[in-house]
């Protein structure tokens, strides 16, 4: 059962890691709303790196944000969280591959492999947490400005990239949880096995001691 959990955790973590790149490359983190707008022939959509505008003919033009320090603080924080999520997911994949029981990496030291796999599970959990914080923070800012009646600027709606980010976070958190559960089951089995070997060793030692004592007493009687 634990081997199946490890394989499922690796698959979920890998898919979640891929979805992070898809979410970052997607240009529709937020899209200008058509609600109450007079001009319906153009649309503005943005992500963490650039802003784009399209018209009714399908042509669009994009420009990158000119300055890092001129950006709002939440966009800078979302960038940092998403990059941290990618790095954490990379370490999680490497640690999981090295710590899986069916993997030949690291030899047959299953105690060490279990600890390495547990580190991979923690990395997957951290990946999911960073992703969900970044995406939810960005979505909360969009929602706040949308319902602010005194906001004079362009109002936006949630883009498809945010839903991809939430899906990525869900898969990563599930993969990390499954991997930690598999490592917990493995550790429990190892403790039970070790306890059994220890008790059997005591039984053999006591049997040998009793047999030696009987042999000594028997030898003394024969000598007398």
Q: Which domains does the chain have, with CATH numbers?
A: 2-201 (1.20.140.150)
**pLDDT of res. 110:** 67
**pLDDT of res. 204:** 42
- Please determine, for residue 200, whether its predicted confidence score (pLDDT) is greater than 80: no
Mean pLDDT for the chain? Answer: 79
Other beta carbons within 10 angstroms of residue 209's beta carbon come to 10
| 1 burial level (CB within 10 Å; 0-12, 13-18, 19+) | exposed
Give the whole-angstrom CA distance, residue 79 versus residue 20: 12
pLDDT tens across 73-85, in order? 899 999 999 999 9
How big is the CA angle at 192 (ends 187 and 193), to the nearest 5 degrees? 95
pLDDT tens across 35-74, in order? 655 555 678 888 899 988 887 776 778 888 888 888 888 9
Rounded to two decimals, the pTM is 0.76
* Strand bridging mode 42-46 / 30-32: antiparallel
Half-sphere exposure of 55 (CA within 13 A, CB side): 3
pLDDT tens across 104-129, in order? 666 667 677 778 888 999 999 999 99
């Amino acid at each position: 059962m634990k081997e199946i959990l490890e394989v499922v955790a690796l698959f979920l973590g890998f898919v979640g890691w891929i979805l992070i790149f898809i979410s970052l490359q997607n240009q529709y983190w937020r899209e200008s709303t058509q609600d109450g707008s007079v001009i319906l022939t153009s649309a503005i959509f943005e992500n963490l790196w650039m802003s784009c505008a399209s018209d009714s003919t399908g042509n669009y033009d994009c420009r990158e944000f000119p300055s890092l320090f001129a950006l709002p603080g939440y966009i800078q924080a979302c960038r940092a969280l998403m990059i941290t999520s990618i790095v954490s997911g990379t370490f999680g994949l490497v640690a999981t591959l090295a710590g899986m029981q069916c993997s030949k990496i690291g030899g047959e030291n299953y105690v060490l492999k279990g600890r390495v796999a547990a580190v991979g599970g923690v990395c997957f959990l951290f990946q999911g947490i960073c992703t969900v914080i970044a995406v939810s923070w960005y979505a909360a800012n969009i929602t706040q400005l949308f319902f602010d009646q005194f906001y004079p600027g362009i109002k936006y709606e949630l883009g498809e990239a945010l839903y991809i980010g939430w899906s990525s976070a869900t898969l990563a958190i599930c993969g990390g949880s499954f991997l930690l559960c598999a490592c917990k089951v493995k550790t429990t089995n190892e403790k039970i096995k070790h306890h059994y070997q220890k008790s059997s060793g005591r039984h053999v030692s006591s049997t040998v001691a009793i047999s030696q004592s009987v042999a000594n007493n028997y030898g003394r009687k024969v000598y007398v």
